[in-house]
Structure 1
Amino acid sequence: MTTLRIGTRGSALALTQTGMVADDLADATGVTTELVTITTDGDRSNEPLSRAGGTGLFTGALRDALLDDRCDLVVHSLKDLPTAPHDRLVVAAMPAREDPRDALCARDGLTLDELPEGARVGTGSPRRMAQLRARRPDIEVVDIRGNVDTRLGRVAPGDLDAVILAAAGLRRLGRMDVVTELLDADRWPTAPGQGALAVEVRHGDEDLVRALDHAETRAAVEAERGVLALLEAGCSAPVGARAVVDAGLLLLSASVYSLDGATVLTSSHATTWPDDDAPIDVARAVAGELLDRGAADLTGARP
């Protein structure tokens, strides 16, 4: 194989992320690459994510292209990828994770606590909506869609006082100048897998991209996504998670929110790492505690 065809969405962020993977792959293996742009259901729809449903919205068409041999691998934002394993595809590499935090982009340099009562804050994420309502019940949460520039363009002098975006995407696009506050990951856990990329291939092709896999990122992300899977909650559910590897431990904390922000359940556990079973072991401990405390009533999961 002389050239690897890499499937990607056509947004500026997706093309930037995939270009980074292509460059790293070329550096690591010497292979040449070309990008194949795929339009997904999420790109065609303007329906709010809270109604459209997140599972597969941005990934299904990419996977179809891979299965149809229109490309040799695809690059996903990992937080968009369904947690259930695919019978013919495998995530063979997770490159080192970018900043997983959420970023507030507000008018006049304001922080979240400095926004005035009644401020209008936009996001398309049910998790962020719940977190906003829990932290600032006095502000108005506005359900929005669109790419990074479209969302930023709605901040004053547009119709919003602020939007919340993933810091990872803004860093990759070189747009950190618009950030007025990086929200603390311990107080404001983000979507499982946020900031990480997934390089997916057909079974049997793992060696094409294995050189890009980052062990600590994989452990942390598998723990976070393990909680989501065990709660039987979709990738747009109001669930936040944060896992880190530190001093020989894999530490995981997760929070489940009611959509109105009135109820928040949190659990934290740790286990030794490196250990192949560490991500699922710590995920089971956290998810089990959350389910025992009533998380299924908030996510629609079945205990």
Structure 2
Amino acid sequence: MTQSGHVARALEEVSGRPVELVQIVSEGDTNRGSLSQLGGTGVFATRLREALAAGECDLLVHSLKDLPTAQPEELEIAATPVRADARDVILTRDGTPLEQLPAGSVIGTGSPRRIAQVLRANPGLRIHDLRGNVDSRMQRVVDGELSAIVLAAAGLDRLGPETPLHYEQRDLGVWPTAAGQGALAVETRADADPELLAAIRRLDDPATRFAVTVERTVLGGIEAGCHAPVGVHARFEGDRLHVQAGVYGPDGQQVVNVALTETVSFDTPGRGYIHRQGSGNGADAADGVDQIDHARDIGDGIARRLLERGAADLVPRESPS
């Protein structure tokens, strides 16, 4: 609701029209089972997309990392706004770094990727499967039930909670996060009102779209669900694209890594607008179809290198739904 409110306010500014928030509850919101046991992809998206198709709302705001990589033909990701902080953070009571926590310390997270990365950093730790909202998770550390928890920096920044806990930000170069983490996807029907589509497209950031297209293409290329133990992050420094990808074994002791740096130039005209529906990794920017194809080529190449190095043996592969 918080991130949807941010998009609603931005859409009001560009359109000059009021935007109403409609609360829709998904399976991922109510089922407190482990994410790895909830059927993988789509647990946060399916109910929302059903509501969009049924006309209960005109657009959806997703955390992009929770979206399956296969895009329904009748729906369109019309905008990916400027990305927030994509890092993970470790929250502890006293600021002890993850690598220095004593053996047997209990770390809360429900993400197979984060579990693998935590155990790779400190094999002596114990993992406690954790669901619930940010406040309830942090309280379990404050109360001493857990030694630490792992959260997305973007979620903390958007909520802005006050807490006595200490934050340790993980370096994306060695701790790549979920494909699309920190980014939002504004989705609507492909046959939506042209005026609405035009307004949504004004929220699109081409650098974010390029980066997340690379990431989601990697995920799709190795046929891994969005909750598989895969970390991939693409970022720009000027016109230099840096990509770090890692596929982990369940205990983190096995990992297949690929790193890439490449120059990517954006054409200025029309770069913030979407021309046509894409294939699920982000719709294409006007005058930028070749750029999005380039992003997919980069992602495909990284996926092939991961598979050649043995990633298929580490990841339960599935066709995203």
Say whether the fold is shared (TM-score over 0.5): yes
Which of 200, 211, 214 aligns to 1:220? It is 211
Q: What corresponds to 2:285 in structure 1?
A: none
Q: Distance in 1 between matches of 2:136 and 2:238?
A: 41
1:181 matches 2:181: no
- Contact 1:110–1:180 (CA under 8 A) maintained in structure 2: no
Per-residue deviation, 1:159: 1.2
Q: What corresponds to 2:184 in structure 1?
A: 197
Q: What TM-score do you get using the length of structure 2 for normalisation?
A: 0.86
Mapping 1:97-116, distance limit 5 Å: 97-116=83-102
Per-residue deviation, 1:257: 0.1
Per-residue deviation, 1:94: 0.5
Q: Distance in 1 between matches of 2:240 and 2:94?
A: 41
Q: What corresponds to 1:230 in structure 2?
A: 221
Per-residue deviation, 1:300: 2.5
Which of 247, 254, 272 aligns to 1:263? It is 254
Q: Distance in 2 between matches of 1:76 and 1:247?
A: 27
Per-residue CA deviations over 1:233-283 (Å, capped at 9, x if unaligned) read: 000000001101233233222100011112010012234423232211111
Q: What corresponds to 1:288 in structure 2?
A: 304
* Worse-superposed segment, 152-161 or 91-100: 152-161
Per-residue deviation, 1:285: 1.5
Per-residue CA deviations over 1:61-93 (Å, capped at 9, x if unaligned) read: 110000000000000000000001111101100
Q: What corresponds to 1:3 in structure 2?
A: none
Q: Distance in 1 between matches of 2:242 and 2:149?
A: 30
- Contact 2:248–2:256 (CA under 8 A) maintained in structure 1: yes
Per-residue CA deviations over 1:148-169 (Å, capped at 9, x if unaligned) read: 1121111142310110000000
Per-residue CA deviations over 1:13-45 (Å, capped at 9, x if unaligned) read: xx1100000011111121210000001011121
1:100 partner SS:
coil
Q: What TM-score do you get using the length of structure 1 for normalisation?
A: 0.91
Q: Distance in 2 between matches of 1:80 and 1:199?
A: 13
1:125 matches 2:111: yes
Q: Distance in 2 between matches of 1:276 and 1:118?
A: 46
Query: What is the number of equivalent residue pairs in this alignment?
Result: 289
Q: What corresponds to 1:164 in structure 2?
A: 150
* Cα separation, partners in 2 of 1:69 and 1:51, compared to 1, 3 Å: same
Name the structure, 1 or 2, with higher relative contact order (CA <8 Å, separation 6+): 2
Q: Which aligned segments of 4 or more residues in structure 1 are displaced greater than 6 angstroms?
A: none
Matched letter for residue 212 of structure 1: L
Which of 23, 31, 41 aligns to 1:55? It is 41
* Cα separation, partners in 2 of 1:269 and 1:149, compared to 1, 3 Å: same
- Contact 1:296–1:302 (CA under 8 A) maintained in structure 2: no
Per-residue deviation, 1:179: 4.2
Q: What corresponds to 1:243 in structure 2?
A: 234
Matched letter for residue 123 of structure 1: T
Mapping 1:24-173, distance limit 5 Å: 24-173=10-159
Q: What corresponds to 2:243 in structure 1?
A: 252
- Contact 1:123–1:141 (CA under 8 A) maintained in structure 2: yes
- Contact 2:94–2:166 (CA under 8 A) maintained in structure 1: no
Q: Distance in 1 between matches of 2:168 and 2:244?
A: 22
1:235 partner SS:
coil
Matched letter for residue 291 of structure 1: L
Q: Distance in 2 between matches of 1:176 and 1:226?
A: 36
- Contact 2:74–2:191 (CA under 8 A) maintained in structure 1: no
1:154 partner SS:
helix
How high is the sequence identity, in percent, across the aligned residues? 47
Per-residue deviation, 1:204: 3.0
Q: Distance in 1 between matches of 2:292 and 2:147?
A: 45
Q: Structure 1: state its 5+ residue gaps.
A: 1-14
